[in-house]
Structure 1
């Protein structure tokens, strides 16, 4: 490494250390002078007037409401709105974000105006997005919800890009790290960068320029956010060996010092594939950030990034068994990493520095970090991490010189309120809200006995101050914040999504095996010694590696949601797969698509001959009807209605295929293509849902919603097929790619292009997801089926 560059980086870090040392000295002096507690007691006495009520009836009710999970989250928002508390709740939450993340002074009229505007917008969204409200919007942090928000700003393509990235990153997170937490952090940082960019926009900005800046913000947010799972969390986790950590850390250090990502040397062992992926993603992210840096902000970006990384490394290598760290060694890296992480965001977007931003952000960071370290102290202690709290826990009775981190935390609060934010009442309100809220959450999580033990250990030297604080924790109304609620909600939802997806895949596999066991057609018993080529051909097609999505949908909805008997619907499952397999046989014929392979094997007409394939398709179609007549556990009129519906479906599928054949060499409109794809694909999804609904006597309204869902899901499925025919992996697909172009087929890709086709797919995905809200059943399986349809690679 260039010696001069290394010296420059070290010099930059030393300057930052000096600034942090000066700040720490100031805090220490305020603590020693015993000037903090008396002033804070007065602050809290003023604060409590709005937070302790003589008849806290609403507080009693509020303590019983759950806030975890999607339902609890929305119920809590509803409760806040009903009791008239939502405006204040959002005001303090957004004010806090403006102060913490944007480095704003809350006494500024401009900041107050912006906060109010954001509160009004967020309130409208939260009320409209309640799933219990008819016609409500989709929840913000679902894929459909994020895509709908992106559509409003014209950044759909970038949102599709980042959703693909989030999925890819999550799938590469190794064991020993938390994939849900990695995804949550990425989303949070992307949102934070977007917020910074929006705040920098001029009121007169053109729609085109706004779209461009938002697209950059999304990519910048992802690029910067990627450093958390792939640098910070990775180096903290036990995934890499000590030698691998050293090599990986040296790569990062070299990048920040030289401004260029080194090539990855040969890496072996179980982590090799993951390291190659992380290196590739981080290199692309770094180059993207660097490409958007203005010359006047580029140095600031590299300097702050190096300070952030090096301060983390200084902390990371500390050993809890070392009893000799000074207070400066414990706190200065904390000040540096907590402030530089937010200072970087401004330089990432190349924003000009507004007056007072650096000072406010630098002095504020340790407040957040000490609060987080307090909340995590026992987890950190178990992991033997050195933080001011874990170190004090271990050595407070051996080192009388150690500063009590809880006392320093309140000193930081005093300093922020009175020295940094000039005793502003709104700032005092928000900071004390946050501090009391943190203690309340900790007490609830740890339990009263453990909490009291902790408070006894960390109590300040002023008994009156200690009593005042603990009285607020016991008596004050809840002072929750939206970002905490949203964080808990996101973590709960992401973990729930993972469990649901695992259950979905398990159900797919289990039911698929059960269906495969009943599909084979037995030879017709007779005295002839001749073989049955039609039955052999049918079984050849049925035994291929099919997804069996249609009968699986029928089984799940029929058994799990409508309560139909498993054995009673077996004929219906066979019927659906026979119809679907027949349609594939006809589709693969030389007179139609002339496909050489299907499901990884030669197509039926290749193995036998065209005539046998034609007869087999016809045989399976008739066999499907025969199976439907075997639904003898159901009312004959109901079965007759099902057979009539099934016959109409087969007719519509034939119409769709005929439309497809007639379109060869012609340019279809998008409307014509949508109609054709529905008849070819969506109608089969519809049948899979409507047939069990008919047997269960579902209402017409419910069946209409199922039909709309099927239409949009089917078209989304077909668009994904068209994209895979252009971009897919032939080995994974099990059939050749490029057949649509070869056959001169009109597809969504040929009409809209790949980018436009993806947008159309996500549009239909959103419509399908919105329709699920109208179906009075548990639609979790259908939700994950839809996710599978648009995210599959075969």
Structure 2
């Protein structure tokens, strides 16, 4: 197939034919070694050498003490501290980084230059990990921790852009696909591209050049990474109908064979909205990659991308019901897709051609792919996917000619160690570490019974070699890898975060509904215009964030009975609603909409609105006096705090009014924001803390959190006013510009306002680290603040 575009001819059939020839040649080399079993004596000798560093003869006492001492790797920080305490951390990191240099960067470990770089990375990573395990440190792998890294490198704007993109991708992942898996894979690809870029530029570039290249690498990583959830995973997930699948694959094929993304004006199928979103994102991503290609690398990028796509398509079209696939048909696409997927990364960042790196990457790919396919064989079998393992499981009893993929895996290992990496001792160490670690992880996950059945099926025809392998799986130690630890942790974090987010949303909605039922103020008379006006304002579509925070902090944080703090919850919402009524008045913001309905002074009049606001402030204090389940001294302390906070809020509103049409400094605006918004967050947290008799130190830390959360809330409000959706907001947008008000957007601009938002996000999260109780709800509250769209 040949396409002509702007005088460029892309001979895609020729690209794939040449790639197949190279893969077939590699397959034949492996097949010969597997057939004559030459890998067995070579690897047997390797493993006997290797095991000297991994089989430890423990005494009875040391076995028990060691078991009690070693924490689970699920306890990330504790595990890192344990590795350091036992003197194993440096070796653990060295083999982990060495492996990444081999796998992702195509490096040879016998290079003095590579060894020096690995040592440098290990030293920096060790310091970062140990710093992050201290009780006061921000977790380096948390959102706040990564943003701090972005600040250090000067790439905050790109980080904010990426977070927004990842959020949108997750929200557009259809049911039947896992949003957490998509996010994890994207993060992994971005990290891989960043690794390549950092390695390519070295340490001899200016700060400005480093910043530019890191920003580009993040965007390129995202652009390339999108192909996994939106091409591979989507086509594998049976989300699209057969007709849609054909349309979609033709769209991708046309892009790769012409170098241009076709316009998408029409789509027939139920997934129209999804496809239009994906098309827009992938088109932008493809154009970004192309725009950053040098002329001499553009064709190589398209060639590798086409080989990767076509090899995936060849495998995707296979079906387990066909019992006639040859070994070549099973393994050659695996060699192609596993190598091209990594070779693409170098072309994406337009790294200079390096034949040695390209060859090592080509030969190495199938090693990882066979390891992944072994790990995933039961899921693949369930989904009907054809891999060397699933096909062998189904047909090995019927066909004597089928290659045992487990034997092929060890053949590949032997070939890599001795023919690709020239018997380098460190390479042998790392590859065997990884192989044994993979089997140990599979055995732990599957259980002994299933593992033994699998081994019985895939065992080679050499009993002594099989016995040696299983002895290593049973007894070998110190074969864990940091990337696996990090992968497990990211998966655990994403799953936990998803569960906690769902609980947060449910909790907020449940408490909100309860609040809506208890807020109405009854009247002893048939008609009371002030109470009627108050109930009108209270019945709007309010978020009820402040009483919700108080409920959670009171009940879950301090163990207070829900029934005992109902008056406090009502008082907070009365006070907040009063502040909104005053805020909306013509003499202040002159707002026309609030909580999705006309403001009170428009429905009634200004006088009634003013009196209603005054009534609600007094009603709030009245409610606080009914906190009869607490001692009078504590209630009096709470009322004193409450009245002081009301005064501070009035002070903030005066500051806000006096600032209208004036150019404020950032510090002045932060002060206004704290008094207007942050202090209300503080009250909703400190009031239950007072009832719960929290220490002064704890209250001080909570006030620090509240200050930054409140300012972040105000910055987000300013951003939404500048670029939000009026229907979602429930109020008019653009009012700040119309009233010539100073906001974080007008002072800083949208981009820097976003940076300021994330700065206060980080400060709020860092404050939470110092609070000596469960702060999960507050963590998700801050996440809600920065991610909300209304």
Contact 1:572 1:631 in 2 (8 A): yes
Contact 1:138 1:770 in 2 (8 A): no
Which whole-Å CA distance do the structure 2 matches of 1:144 and 1:42 have between them? 48
Change beyond 3 A, Cα 1:403–1:172: same
- Residue by residue over 1:689-712, the C-alpha shift from the partner in whole angstroms, topping out at 9 and shown as x without a partner, is 000110111101110011000000
Partner of 2:521: 521
1:388 aligns with 2:388: yes
Partner of 1:541: 537
- Residue by residue over 1:240-298, the C-alpha shift from the partner in whole angstroms, topping out at 9 and shown as x without a partner, is 12221111111111100000111224224431111111111000000000000000000
2:128 to 117, 125, 128: 125
Q: How does 1:86-97 map to 2 (within 5 A)?
A: 86-97=89-100
2:783 to 760, 763, 787: 787
1:36 aligns with 2:36: no
Contact 1:664 1:745 in 2 (8 A): yes
Contact 2:92 2:478 in 1 (8 A): no
- Residue by residue over 1:80-131, the C-alpha shift from the partner in whole angstroms, topping out at 9 and shown as x without a partner, is 111111111110010000000000000001110111111111111111112x
Contact 1:708 1:768 in 2 (8 A): yes
CA shift, 1:478, in A, is: 4.2
Contact 1:67 1:485 in 2 (8 A): no
Which whole-Å CA distance do the structure 2 matches of 1:776 and 1:750 have between them? 38
Contact 1:59 1:478 in 2 (8 A): no
- Residue by residue over 1:551-597, the C-alpha shift from the partner in whole angstroms, topping out at 9 and shown as x without a partner, is 00000000111111111111101110011000000000000001111
Contact 1:673 1:747 in 2 (8 A): yes
2:751 to 752, 755, 774: 755
- Residue by residue over 1:708-761, the C-alpha shift from the partner in whole angstroms, topping out at 9 and shown as x without a partner, is 000000000000001111100111111111111111111111111111110001
Q: How does 1:314-393 map to 2 (within 5 A)?
A: 314-393=314-393
Change beyond 3 A, Cα 1:779–1:699: same
Contact 1:301 1:348 in 2 (8 A): yes
Contact 2:2 2:11 in 1 (8 A): no
Which whole-Å CA distance do the structure 2 matches of 1:718 and 1:362 have between them? 52
Partner of 2:173: 173
CA shift, 1:306, in A, is: 0.1
Partner of 1:628: 624
Which whole-Å CA distance do the structure 2 matches of 1:112 and 1:391 have between them? 40
Which whole-Å CA distance do the structure 1 matches of 2:428 and 2:558 have between them? 56
Contact 2:241 2:269 in 1 (8 A): no
Partner of 1:596: 592
CA shift, 1:215, in A, is: 0.3
Which whole-Å CA distance do the structure 2 matches of 1:7 and 1:143 have between them? 42
- Residue by residue over 1:332-388, the C-alpha shift from the partner in whole angstroms, topping out at 9 and shown as x without a partner, is 000000000000000000000234011100000000001111111111111111111
1:280 aligns with 2:273: no
1:732 to 695, 719, 728: 728
CA shift, 1:67, in A, is: 4.0
Partner of 1:511: 511
1:425 aligns with 2:425: yes
Contact 1:184 1:490 in 2 (8 A): yes
CA shift, 1:515, in A, is: 0.9
Q: How does 1:306-705 map to 2 (within 5 A)?
A: 306-525=306-525, 531-705=527-701
CA shift, 1:308, in A, is: 0.3
Gaps of 5+ in 1: none
1:138 aligns with 2:139: yes
Gaps of 5+ in 2: none
Contact 2:360 2:420 in 1 (8 A): yes
Partner of 1:770: 766
Change beyond 3 A, Cα 1:88–1:563: same
Which whole-Å CA distance do the structure 2 matches of 1:460 and 1:523 have between them? 85
Q: Give the TM-score, by structure 1 length.
A: 0.97
Question: What is the DSSP-based 3-state SS (H/G/I as helix, E as strand, rest coil) of the residue aligned with 2:428?
Answer: helix
Q: How many residues align?
A: 785
Change beyond 3 A, Cα 1:154–1:545: same
Question: What is the DSSP-based 3-state SS (H/G/I as helix, E as strand, rest coil) of the residue aligned with 1:386?
Answer: coil
Contact 1:68 1:492 in 2 (8 A): no
- Residue by residue over 1:394-453, the C-alpha shift from the partner in whole angstroms, topping out at 9 and shown as x without a partner, is 111111111111111111101100011010000000000000001111111111122111
Which whole-Å CA distance do the structure 1 matches of 2:330 and 2:662 have between them? 73
Contact 1:96 1:430 in 2 (8 A): yes
1:711 to 707, 710, 723: 707
Which whole-Å CA distance do the structure 1 matches of 2:453 and 2:63 have between them? 26
Which whole-Å CA distance do the structure 2 matches of 1:251 and 1:305 have between them? 14
Question: What is the DSSP-based 3-state SS (H/G/I as helix, E as strand, rest coil) of the residue aligned with 2:11?
Answer: helix
Which whole-Å CA distance do the structure 1 matches of 2:622 and 2:518 have between them? 15
1:112 to 99, 110, 115: 115
Which whole-Å CA distance do the structure 1 matches of 2:516 and 2:586 have between them? 28
Contact 1:367 1:409 in 2 (8 A): yes
1:8 aligns with 2:4: no
CA shift, 1:63, in A, is: 5.9
Q: Give the TM-score, by structure 2 length.
A: 0.98
Which whole-Å CA distance do the structure 2 matches of 1:784 and 1:702 have between them? 20
1:214 aligns with 2:217: no
How much is the aligned-residue C-alpha RMSD, in angstroms? 1.4
Which whole-Å CA distance do the structure 1 matches of 2:243 and 2:124 have between them? 50
Partner of 1:75: 78
CA shift, 1:299, in A, is: 0.4
1:99 to 96, 99, 102: 102
CA shift, 1:202, in A, is: 4.0
Which whole-Å CA distance do the structure 1 matches of 2:112 and 2:245 have between them? 48
Contact 2:176 2:237 in 1 (8 A): yes
Question: What is the DSSP-based 3-state SS (H/G/I as helix, E as strand, rest coil) of the residue aligned with 2:601?
Answer: helix
CA shift, 1:58, in A, is: 6.6
More displaced, 105-114 or 242-251?
242-251
Question: What is the DSSP-based 3-state SS (H/G/I as helix, E as strand, rest coil) of the residue aligned with 1:329?
Answer: helix
Contact 1:180 1:495 in 2 (8 A): yes
Contact 2:256 2:306 in 1 (8 A): yes
Contact 1:520 1:542 in 2 (8 A): yes
- Residue by residue over 1:173-193, the C-alpha shift from the partner in whole angstroms, topping out at 9 and shown as x without a partner, is 001101101000000100100
CA shift, 1:150, in A, is: 0.3
Change beyond 3 A, Cα 1:238–1:101: same
Question: What is the DSSP-based 3-state SS (H/G/I as helix, E as strand, rest coil) of the residue aligned with 1:560?
Answer: helix
Which whole-Å CA distance do the structure 1 matches of 2:126 and 2:523 have between them? 66
